Amino acid sequence: MMADAYQRILSWVKGLGRLGLFTWEVIQSLVGERLAGRIFLQQLYLIGVRSQTVVLVTGAFTGMVLTAQTYFQFHKVRIDTGSLAVVGISMCSELGPVLTGLMVAGRVGAALAAELGTMRVTEQLDALRALATHPVDYLVVPRVLGTIIAMPLLTAESMAIGIGAGYAVGAWFLDIDPTYSWHNMVRYTTVNDVLMGTIKAIIYGAMIGVICCYKGMHCGEGAEGVGRAATEAVVRSSITILISNFFLTLALNRILENE
């Protein structure tokens, strides 16, 4: 029992170490090697443009339901026009980046891990290396950079659509005064909230890219290995986003308050 637990911890620490080395390799390549520009643009399109629908739908409905729930509580104490301000702050600093991160991890992360995993099991990664090309330079860096750049843009969209949808629901369905509602939202949602969401989105983009590419590049053999890598990529990057969100909120609040 103890030996089993020890083995599990050891394997977890080893995995963490390998992920650390992989991240270091990505950083070195990002800084020192020439970017595969065409693949980067392709990935930016696949990650950024093709994720629009899922991110917009998620952002809109989150903003709508959050407005409704906040209104139901605030209405009891007659501060209806404060509802959109809560939505604004929540969408910018928390829900926008986290939900966008989870959606991108689900949609793009699985695809990244499955694609690289398939390349591994069909010897395409070995073929790349045999052709004197480093798989991290050619495959990983464009994908990681793609998620790092796409994530804040998608998050900004999610924030905007969430607030817009919340405003529409408040004004049209809940009879909240639209002028005061908007005024309060602008008054209480600060630049720091938007900045916090954007910084989080960039960090989540890097996390999704690195974790999912790592899982794909180190997947097990056969179709089972690829399937497991795709599942693990989504689960690990989602959990990492949720856990790190707590620490990032504390740290960024401190840093941005002192600015």
**Site of interaction with another protein (CB under 8 A):** 119, 122-124, 126-134
Q: Are 213 and 109 in contact (CB under 8 A)?
A: no
Closest separation in Å from C-beta 33 to another protein: 9
Q: Are 219 and 117 in contact (CB under 8 A)?
A: yes
**Of the two residues 77 and 132, which places its CB atom closer to another protein in the complex?**
132
Q: Are 90 and 166 in contact (CB under 8 A)?
A: no
**Exposure class string for 8-18: b at 16+ Cβ within 10 A, else e:** eeeeeeeeeee
Closest separation in Å from C-beta 163 to another protein: 39
**Of the two residues 13 and 127, which places its CB atom closer to another protein in the complex?**
127
How far apart CA 155 and CA 243 sit, in angstroms, is: 18
| Burial class of residue 258, CB neighbours in 10 A (0-12, 13-18, 19+) | exposed
Closest separation in Å from C-beta 206 to another protein: 22
Closest separation in Å from C-beta 110 to another protein: 17
**Of the two residues 128 and 168, which places its CB atom closer to another protein in the complex?**
128
Closest separation in Å from C-beta 123 to another protein: 4
The CA-based angle 89-100-219, given to 5 degrees, is: 145
**Of the two residues 41 and 255, which places its CB atom closer to another protein in the complex?**
41
* Nearest CA among 52, 63, 81 for reference residue 185: 81
**Of the two residues 37 and 257, which places its CB atom closer to another protein in the complex?**
37
